[in-house]
Amino acid sequence: MRVVAGRYAISAELGRGGMGVVWRAEDRVLGRPVALKELATPPGTSLDRVMREARTAGRLNDPAVVTVYDVVSEQGATFIVMELVVAPTLADVVGREGALANDRVAALGLQVLGALESAHRAGIVHRDVKPSNIMVLPGDRVKLADFGIARAMDDPGLTQTGGVMGSPGYMAPELFAGAGPAPASDLWSLGATLFHAAEGRAPFQRTTTAATLHAIMYDQPVLERCRGPLAEAVRGLLTQSTSDRLTAAGARRLLETARTAITDSPTQAVDPASLPTIVFEPVTAKVAAPSPTTVDWDRPRKKRFPLVLAGVAAAVVAALGAIFLLKPTASTPVADAGVTSEPAATSAPSKTASPSHKKSSSPSASATTTPTTSTAAKPDPAKVPLIRFHQKDGGHFSGTKKVGPPGGFTKEGIFGSLVATAEPGTRKLFACKVKDQKDWFTSPDQSGKCEGQQALGLLGNIYADPPSGASARALYRCNAGASHFDSLDAGCEGKKKEFLMGYLVL
């Protein structure tokens, strides 16, 4: 059995990488298990510097830091003696589970951010923050490993032969431009790590090292699943200019918001008028090009919706969007008294015409027998909150207490309210599902047949025009190509708008 420094008895290899080999060992003096990292230092690296900075890292006291116990040098080799943590890395977790929920990513990120803040206050820059250096313990407790070690290298990004050591896809652009490591470069790496956790893929990984470095220097990665304040945090951290990059304090505020944004109890009442405004960024999910979706109430339809896997696009739309519902502002337009900018029916490339949307002429307008008027007296009806839900693999569902979501859905937020009973100026709104597909949608088909698809139940009644004497919001049906979703955004959050369904009261 190999014994290092007459004290640490090595029993097994735990792993190895570009920076060395990690061994499982026992501290014979204290009788505790430890991890022993034998460093592979490039030629020209100062061992004194390695020893000094690793000892500095050992003084860090943060629950999210893998504690450094000792640093020893023996027979030309340097060993970092660390707390033994047996747990999968964040890279392992994402590899096994896929993209993680936004609130979970935010909670994990807050712990890593706290560890970085502790280190930066102590004058230590990690320089190697990445998913494979983050251990995820039971209960999603986090341990950030290799503090002080990466910073101790004279040039940890490049070997003497010009190759990249470690994971350059998580290193800040200024490091490749010759700048020294700094807290801002750790924050960039945190942003890349959060992107990986939320999207299920590395933000800048390309087929060659040169292409990866070019992407880091010049590209802005596209967020497909990450939404709301978490997306804002990721974009702010992945800013090439260090002067414009999000600070630790700014990142903390956004991550704290993202952590709690979609964790409300499903039965908790939320006043939509009190929710903050968020400007939706265009969704750029890679989905099949949507077929023109039209509604012809007089002819049978075989299949009205593009039917591909429902997982990719719909989760992108919401992940945190609905709990931060749009308020009508200049930057987030809502319908102007029911008038939309839909193209004329003759411009649709399909044989059936696109619905026109002048003055509440949604596809169901010809089917309803109740008068459509914006001058109806405002009653005080029983309200039915309309809630948007999402599932992990991408589907969305708009439901009420009358028609709840299928299993596996998580609440995002409340759009506004339907009214429980029909009255002048309202039309029925149904929950529907495309047959044999994971595509849930909402329909104002007054026949209750859900446009030839599967009917799930009556949600309530929606106003055809803004009701007088009451605050209201427009509700749109949108098409993400792989699935359908409802939105308060007149631009359908960057996806295809099908039509204005009506107005919800607040």
DSSP assignment of 274-323: GSPP-PPPPP----PPPPP----TTS--S--S--S-STTHHHHHHTTTGG
Beta strand pairing call for 383-391 and 141-144: unpaired
Q: Taking 60 as the threshold, does the pLDDT of residue 263 lie above it?
A: no
pLDDT at 151: 52
pLDDT at 393: 67
| CATH level 2 (architecture), domain 90-260 | Orthogonal Bundle (1.10)
Instruction: Return the CATH fold of 3-83.
Output: Phosphorylase Kinase; domain 1 (3.30.200)
pLDDT tens readout for residues 296-335: 333 343 334 343 334 333 333 333 343 333 333 333 333 3
pLDDT tens readout for residues 95-123: 999 999 999 999 999 999 999 999 899 88
Lowest mean pLDDT among 55-64, 72-81, 190-199, 452-461: 55-64
Instruction: Compute the distance between CA of residue 257 and CA of residue 244 in angstroms, rounded to an integer.
Output: 21
Instruction: Compute the distance between CA of residue 192 and CA of residue 170 in angstroms, rounded to an integer.
Output: 6
- Mapping DSSP to helix (H, G, I), strand (E, B) and coil, where does residue 146 land? coil
Contact between residue 239 and residue 172 where contact means Cβ atoms under 8 Å apart: no
Catalytic annotation on 465? no
DSSP code of 222? Answer: P
Burial 124-163, CB ≥16 within 10 A → b, else e: bbbbbbbbbbbbbeeeeebbbbbbbbbbbbeebbeeeeee
Nearest to 258 by CA among 395, 101, 462, 95: 101
pLDDT at 250: 96
CA dihedral 399, 401, 403, 407 (to 10 degrees): 80
Burial degree of 352 (CB within 10 A; 0-12, 13-18, 19+): middle
pLDDT tens readout for residues 119-143: 899 888 888 899 999 999 999 999 9
Global pTM value: 0.51
Residue spans per domain, the chain: 3-83, 90-260, 272-505
Q: Taking 50 as the threshold, does the pLDDT of residue 372 lie above it?
A: no
Catalytic residue from among 62, 70, 103, 128: 128
Contact between residue 483 and residue 422 where contact means Cβ atoms under 8 Å apart: no
Tell me the C-alpha to C-alpha distance, in Å, between residue 133 and each of 143, 145, 166, 185.
8, 5, 11, 16
Residues in the chain: 506
Q: Taking 80 as the threshold, does the pLDDT of residue 193 lie above it?
A: yes
Phi and psi at residue 158, to the nearest 5°: -130, 140
CA dihedral 452, 458, 459, 461 (to 10 degrees): 100
pLDDT at 380: 62
pLDDT at 373: 40
- Mapping DSSP to helix (H, G, I), strand (E, B) and coil, where does residue 55 land? helix
Half-sphere exposure of 190 (CA within 13 A, CB side): 33
Q: pLDDT tier at 50 (50, 70, 90 boundaries)?
A: low
Cα torsion angle, 261, 266, 268, 271, sign: positive
Average pLDDT, the chain: 75
pLDDT at 295: 39
